[in-house]
Structure 1
Amino acid sequence: MTIQSDRARDALLDAAEELFARNGIDAVSNRRIVEHAGAANHSAIAYHFGGREGLLRALVERHHDEMARRRRELTEQLGETPNIHELVTTRLRPLIELLDSLPKPSWRAQFMSQISAVPSAVEVAKEVIGDADLPDDLRFINGAVDGIPEGVLRGRAYLLGSMVVGVCADQEAKMNEDANKGSWEQVGRFLIDAAAGMLGAPVTDPDGAVRYPSVPLL
């Protein structure tokens, strides 16, 4: 692609992420995205992404490789017997660092929050990120949490995914409005502490874990 084509593609991604974040994925038409991006060609989404599903896929993929590399870096820095807090940090800190690095206003967390409300978007997220990510991470965590069955960890990870995305979306919206004086660093520390506490909490009923399809957004 040419530099001009790359810029046009990025402009469409920026426009779609903002409109999806603010209005919901199903409420925004392709034409509206193109107009918000300042493009004259109303078939620009088909040209650059092959259609709406390709656009969604590109949005989900956005920053994924960058976060995956950062997670690998943090994982390689772990000692031989990392604790649950350190393991959770390798998973969540790259997300917080990404959100902190984005230009303001930003829409990434709010877009992520909208994905779970649209089944087609959830399927795209699963295809892009892959269900294998979550079980591997849970088995990794399981080695550091005595007495926590994998099924319970899966259920807790589902709850944590929703919690983290929801908190980050709310924080991002407040920061966009300049209504919150907190920092992403503070939010990250709070979420990591909370996630580590939930994952390592005592289990009173191993068979009573919630069982939901994983939504690999983190």
Structure 2
Amino acid sequence: MTSSTVKEQIALAAERLFAERGLDGASLRQISAAAGNGNNTAVQYHFGSKERLVQAIFEYRLRDLNARRDALVAERCPNDLRSWVECHLVPALEQSEREGSRYLSFVAKLQQHGRRDVLAHLSPELLAPTHRFRARVGALLPGVPEPLRAHRIAQATAFSVHVGAEREQSRARDERVLPYAVHVGDLLDGVVGFLAAPVSAATLGALDTPMPYEAALPLHP
């Protein structure tokens, strides 16, 4: 067994346990055991800390997800809101359909506990597709003023994560779920409708109240 295989097994075991129990509910010793490693210090040896392990899970998943996103963008040349949303979200939804994947549940759990700090040390290369998505979608929402525009994009992303996580967990419990194509189509309909919804006069009026706000980079699949 190569070192890279051991690290991959640990990362996947950690993804599953973090998804089920949260960051504080899974110890490094439990993760080592779940990965089938008899060495109780295997996580420390390969990753150094729990925070570095969390970052490694993102790095492991985002490389493939981003490659799929780039491929979809190159293939479809998106120029409308739904196309951009589809190119960015579908790879994560595809990932959640794979046997044994708990990635969206893992991300959802981090969102619940406000752990956006885990993104701080990810490389700009891994975050580039998310920045691109925010910029392109933002440009397609000229009728939505800031800070509402950034807030909507962040909220739409968070909603998509939790919807995908719920389906992922239902499938793990062998519960009945909508056919995949219906699930994806309905989610995209809802996200696009939310993003493009007109801003009410009441909300515009509320914007007159000074409020410091900066939308954080969403924890994204």
TM-score after normalising by structure 1 = 0.85
- 1:155 aligns to 2:123 (yes or no): no
Determine if the alignment matches structure 1 residue 107 to structure 2 residue 105. Answer: no
Aligned residue number for residue 10 of structure 2: 12
Task: Identify the match of residue 139 of structure 1 among 106, 124, 135.
Answer: 135
Q: How does 1:36-115 map to 2 (within 5 A)?
A: 36-79=34-77, 82-100=79-97, 102-104=98-100, 106-115=101-110
Deviations 1:15-69 (A, max 9, x none): 1111111111111111111112121111111111122222111112122011112
Distance 1:55 1:135 in 2: 23
Q: Is 1:124–2:127 an aligned residue pair?
A: no
Paired residue secondary structure (2:121): helix
**Residue 17 of structure 1 contacts residue 107 of structure 1 at CA under 8 Å; is this kept in 2?**
yes
Distance 1:25 1:184, change over 3 A: farther
2:213 is equivalent to residue 196 of structure 1 = no
Contact 2:154-2:218 at 8 Å conserved across structures: yes
Whether the 8 Å contact between 2:104 and 2:168 is mirrored in structure 1 is yes
Within 2, Cα distance between the matches of 1:196 and 1:76?
21
Cα shift at 1:213: 2.6
Letter in 2 for 1:161: T
Kindly provide the amino acid, as one letter, of the partner of residue 116 in structure 2: V
Change (3 A) 1:10 1:142: closer
Q: What 5-or-longer segments of structure 2 have no aligned partner?
A: none
RMSD: 2.4
Alignment match, 2:170: 174
Q: Please state how far the C-alpha of 1:194 moved relative to its aligned partner.
A: 0.9
The 1-side partners of 2:112 and 2:138 are apart by 29
**Contact 1:126/1:216 (8 A) holds in 2:** no
Q: What residue is the counterpart of 1:214 in the other structure? A: 217
* Residues paired across the two proteins, number: 212
CA displacement, residues 139-184 of structure 1 (integer Å, 9 cap, x when unaligned): 3123333422242221111211221111111111111111123233
Q: Which amino acid in 1 is paired with 2:111?
A: S
Measured in 1, the distance between the counterparts of 2:164 and 2:139 equals 28
Same amino acid, percent of matched pairs: 24
> SS at the partner of 1:95?
helix
What letter corresponds to residue 165 of structure 1 in structure 2? Answer: V
